[in-house]
Amino acid sequence: MEIRVNMINITRLTLSHNKIQAVPPGLANLVNLEILNLFNNHITELPISLSQMPKLRILNVGMNRLDVLPRGFGAFPVLEVLDLTYNNLSEKNLPGNFFMMETLRALYLADNDFEYLPPEIGQLKNLQILVLRENDLVELPKEIGELTRLRELHIQGNRLTVLPPELGNLDLVSNKAVFRMEFNPWVIPIGDQLQVGISHVMDYIRSETYRYVYSRHQSAKGPPPPIENDKSKKISRVR
């Protein structure tokens, strides 16, 4: 892709649904770019320079073939929405500063390979939307309870059995809130409350009874539930 002088003032660039395999580092020269959509391509890596774009607010690289993110990826100065849905990412290949994006309001990590969410997630104090559905998560860190502005949480389709009691600090049952947690192998008390409704789940995990159940469960630390999602045929696995 050739970056021409007359492109310097563009604020939005959509290159979705192509077969782009590499993003040229020179894309960062588009210093006025606010929205970059690279959804549904064949991208396997991103240039380090991308995180230096001074005005980029929305970045969509969902449905690509990313196994790793570049060093320093979390240095975006004003990024508000980051979509990494349907790639091959896990907690093992996130750069050290990934959770230092203080301006981030929405983070989409659905359909990846996360088993654990790093405790640094609690640093994203402005986060309002967090989408983690269809990963391999076996637990959530207690630091998720520090995301007090969170109003939308999707954790359905994982391997979760319990929730950290700190999740009860969040308002996920108001009229404008969304909390999706179905299709997990929950312990029986949580499963029973979920049958009644999300508000009952939230009330339950705030109770002293649940703190005891959670503590017992954490102490026992049996093997995690088996992986049931066969991701071997994901488009993002193709090379």
Structure tokens at 28: 């960062």
Contact 155, 166 (CB under 8 A): no
pLDDT at 223: 83
pLDDT at 222: 78
Q: Walk along the chain (239 residues) in steps of 10 and give the mean pLDDT of each run.
A: 67 95 92 97 96 97 97 96 98 95 98 97 98 98 98 98 98 96 97 97 98 93 80 62
**Calpha distance 30→132 (Å, rounded):** 31
225: alpha, beta or left? (left if phi > 0; alpha if psi -120 to 50): beta
The overall pTM is greater than 0.75: yes
Structure tokens at 127: 């986060």
> What is the CATH class of 10-235?
alpha beta
- Stated as kind and residue range, the H or E segment containing 220 is helix 208-220
In the DSSP assignment, the letter for residue 223 is P
**Calpha distance 46→16 (Å, rounded):** 15
pLDDT at 220: 85
Amino acid at 161: T
In the DSSP assignment, the letter for residue 18 is S
